[in-house]
Amino acid sequence: MTHVIGVDLGGTKTAAGVVSGSGEVLFSDTIPTLNRAGGEAILDATAALVSGLVERAADAGLTVSGVGVGSAGVIDAAAGVVVSATDAIRGWAGTSLAAGLATRLSLPAAAVRAVNDVHAHALGEAWLGAAAGSSSSLLVAFGTGVGGSFVLNGHPVLGHRFVGGHVGHFASPLAVGDGKPLPCVCGSAGHVEAVASGPAIHESFLRLGGSAAEATDTRGVFSLASRAPDAGAAAGSPDNATAARAAVELGAVAAGQAVGGLINILDPETVVISGGLADAGELWWKPMEAALRQELLAPLAAVPVVRAALGNSAAIVGAAKLVLP
């Protein structure tokens, strides 16, 4: 039976696993991503991670025939090169990802393939996860950033310049503060990511009068939002629980509006919502889905909208699919 290795290379950690032809992750390992050491150092560390898994596979009597990688950044999937990347991984842009790994692992060039990590995630969910059996699926991930992928007949739509899937970077009517478009990490302003990402929800909490001492990050905002209003708060002073709930709802509604618009454009068979915010519970999910369904054209009213099912293994499985027969 064919076995390959799938790699999920992110800004803080790199996970990899030996995957069977049926998509089962037999064993896996994780290392920190050397995100300040440059592209060559990251390739060295990733190759060492993969080599360790190849040895474990050999000990189990298994042969590994290829390596698929889902990586942060814009990835030229044809050439296996990192076209661009944020400063989350310094020196990553321009790295020959596929060829560099193939050389280090003594594999044929065709045995190593790479795509953006959200595309890999979506491919995993389309193959074996929440969208399994669908001819088309839209996955949108809401977490530290906002990303997405449209999978059509088992293949993610990458775009002519491999930028397809950057669904956090179109305008949202809710990405406004003090009458001005909110700045986005891409350098523009007024984008979905500027209001609907996890860090954006924390920023909204602070703009709404919430105390930084009460919630130092997005997790803290959700914790506050689950509490009852502070009946003892002084008149005119901000109620942190109320500000937190308002911030969560704002981010959720912006997320739902964005996904609803994408559904109107793409008409996917199944919609999968992923990321840390999707896992945060009904406090975020209910207003997100309500806003989403308000946007839909009538023929799309019954489109299935489901949570991602594969968890942390999705990108590993999807990356592995790139090099499976």
Q: Report DSSP letters for 263-315, one per residue.
A: HHHH--SEEEEESTTTTS-HHHHHHHHHHHHHH--GGGTT--EEE-SSGGGHH
The predicted structure's pLDDT at residue 230: 59
Q: Out of 65-69, 229-233, 294-298, pick the least confident.
A: 229-233
Same domain, 110 and 258: no
pLDDT of residue 325: 87
Give the integer Cα–Cα distance in Å for 111 and 288: 40
Asked if 219 and 283 sit in the same domain, the reply is yes
Check residue 235 and give its pLDDT: 44
**183 and 206: one domain?**
yes
Whole-angstrom distance between the N-terminal and C-terminal Cα of the chain? 11
What is the average pLDDT across 251-280?
Answer: 98
Residues 140 and 119 in one domain: no
Determine how β-strand 180-181 pairs with β-strand 270-274.
unpaired
DSSP output for 238-258: --HHHHHHHHHHHHHHHHHHH
Q: Do 236 and 108 belong together in one domain?
A: no
Do residues 287 and 316 share a domain? no
Alpha-carbon dihedral sign for residues 47, 50, 56, 57: negative
Q: For residues 48 and 180, state if they share a domain.
A: no
Range of the structural domain that residue 262 is part of: 136-308
205: pLDDT strictly greater than 50: yes
Here the CATH number for the domain that contains residue 122 is: 3.30.420.40
Q: Span 156-164, mean pLDDT?
A: 97
Q: What is the pLDDT of residue 236?
A: 44
Q: How many domains are there within the chain?
A: 2
Residues 123 and 150 in one domain: no
Q: How far apart are alpha carbons 5 and 152 in whole angstroms?
A: 23
| Number of neighbouring beta carbons within 10 Å of residue 258 | 30
pTM: 0.94
DSSP letters for 87-98: TTSTT-TT-BHH
Regarding whether 299 and 235 lie in a shared domain, the answer is yes
pLDDT at 179 over 60: yes
> Is residue 202 over pLDDT 90?
yes
Percentage of residues in the chain having pLDDT higher than 70? 97
Percent of the chain with pLDDT over 90: 94
Q: Are residues 154 and 244 in the same domain?
A: yes
In this predicted model, what pLDDT tens digit does every residue of 31-49 receive, in sequence order? 999 999 999 999 999 999 9
Give the model's confidence band at 233: pLDDT under 50 very low, under 70 low, under 90 confident, else very high: low
Report yes or no: 173 and 192 within 8 Å, Cβ to Cβ. no
DSSP state of 129: S
Is the model's pLDDT at 237 over the cut of 60? no
At residue 55, what is the residue type? Answer: E
Say whether pLDDT at 231 is over 80. no
DSSP 182: P
| Whole-angstrom distance, CA of residue 97 vs CA of residue 213 | 42
Tell whether the model's pLDDT for residue 182 goes beyond 80: yes
Residue 196 in this model has a pLDDT that exceeds 90: yes
Give the count of beta carbons closer than 10 Å to the beta carbon of residue 234. Answer: 8
The pLDDT assigned to 238 comes to 61
Q: What number is the average pLDDT over the span 86-104?
A: 96
User: Based on the domain organization, do 22 and 117 belong to the same domain?
Assistant: yes
Chain mean pLDDT for the chain: 95
One domain, residues 114 and 206: no
pLDDT over 70 at 90, yes or no: yes
CA 91 to chain centre: 21
